[in-house]
Chains A and B, each alone.
Chain A
Amino acid sequence: MVAAGWLGWLLVGAPPPAVGLEPLDPATWNTATRIRVLDEVSGTAVLGVARLGGANNGTAPLDANSRLDFVNPTTISSVEATFRILDAALIGSNFPAAPAARIDGYFYRDPSGTGSPTDQMGHVQGSIRLAIEEGTGALFAAYFVQKCLNALCSQVATLLNQRFPQAINRFETHRLRVAFDFTTGTFTFQLDQNAAVTFVVPDTVRLPPSFGLMRLQARAVLPASPTAFGRIVARVDDLRVNNAPYDSFSARRVPRTSITPGTGTFAGQIEGDVLILIETGGESVTDVRLFFEGQDFSNLLAGAIQGTSAGGGRTFRFPGVGLSSLVPPGQFRTVGVIATTASGRRASGYAVWHRLQ
Chain B
Amino acid sequence: MRVHRRDQGWRSLLWTLAFVLLVGTGIPVRAAETIPPGFDRDLYLQGAQKVRVFRRSSIPPVGRREPFIMGTAAFDGTGREGHSLNLTNPQTITALEAVVTPLAFSASSGATAGVRLFGIACATGGGSGDFTGHHIASIGIEIGANGALEETFQLDRCVDPGCTQRQSVARRVVGPAQLFQPREIELGFEANQVRFGSYAPGTRPGARQTDGTAVEPHPPGCGPPANHQKGIDASNETAGPGTSASAEALVSDPKVNDQPAAVTPADAPPSGTTFPTTGSVAPEQITDLKFLFFDVDPALIAGARLLLRNQDVLPTALPIARIEVITDPLFGPILCVTLPDVPLGVSIGPESELAVEIELQTPAGPLVVTSFEFFASPP
Which residues on A are within 8 Å of B, measured CB to CB?
Answer: 1-3, 5-6, 8-46, 52, 57, 66-71, 84, 86-87, 91, 137, 169-172, 235, 246-256, 258-273, 275, 277, 279, 289, 291-297, 299-300, 303, 305, 307, 309-311, 315, 317-322, 325-326, 330, 332, 334, 336, 338, 344-350, 352, 354, 356-357
Contact = CB atoms under 8 A, between A and B. Distances in A.
B336 A10 contact: no
A84 B351 CA distance: 12
A32 B48 contact: no
Interface string B298-319: 1101111101011010100000
Given A68-B47, A296-B26, A266 B278 contact: no
A254 B38 CA distance: 7
Contact of A70 (B43, B180, B369): B43
A208 B305 CA distance: 50
A277 B345 CA distance: 14
14 contacts: A9-B301, A23-B264, A30-B87, A38-B39, A41-B280, A247-B43, A254-B36, A254-B38, A265-B56, A270-B290, A273-B286, A330-B330, A348-B179, A356-B334
Interface string B274-296: 11111111101111101010000
B338 A268 contact: yes
Contacts, number: 427
B179 A27 contact: no
A61 B299 CA distance: 37
Interface string B175-188: 00011111000000
A24 B264 contact: yes
Interface string B356-368: 0101000001111
The list of the 7 closest CB pairs from A to B, nearest first, reads A272-B287, A261-B276, A42-B376, A43-B379, A250-B379, A5-B301, A22-B57
Nearest to B33: A346
A249 B279 CA distance: 15
B104 A38 contact: no
A35 B51 contact: yes
Interface stretch (B4-12, B125-133, B158-166, B208-216): B4-12
Given A6-B304, A265-B55, A258 B280 contact: yes
Contacts of A248: 379
A35 B52 CA distance: 6
B180 A336 contact: yes
Contacts of A261: 275-277, 279, 287
A260 B275 contact: no
Contacts of A315: 282
Nearest to B283: A307
B178 A10 contact: no
Contact of A17 (B180, B285, B368): B368
B56 to A, nearest CB: 5
B51 A34 contact: yes
B314 to A, nearest CB: 7
Interface stretch (B15-23, B116-124, B190-198, B218-226): B15-23
Contacts of A297: 16-17, 20
Contacts of B27: 296
Given A251-B40, A265-B54, A317-B284, A17 B273 contact: no
B24 interface: yes
Contact of B365 (A15, A291, A317): A15
B376 A41 contact: yes
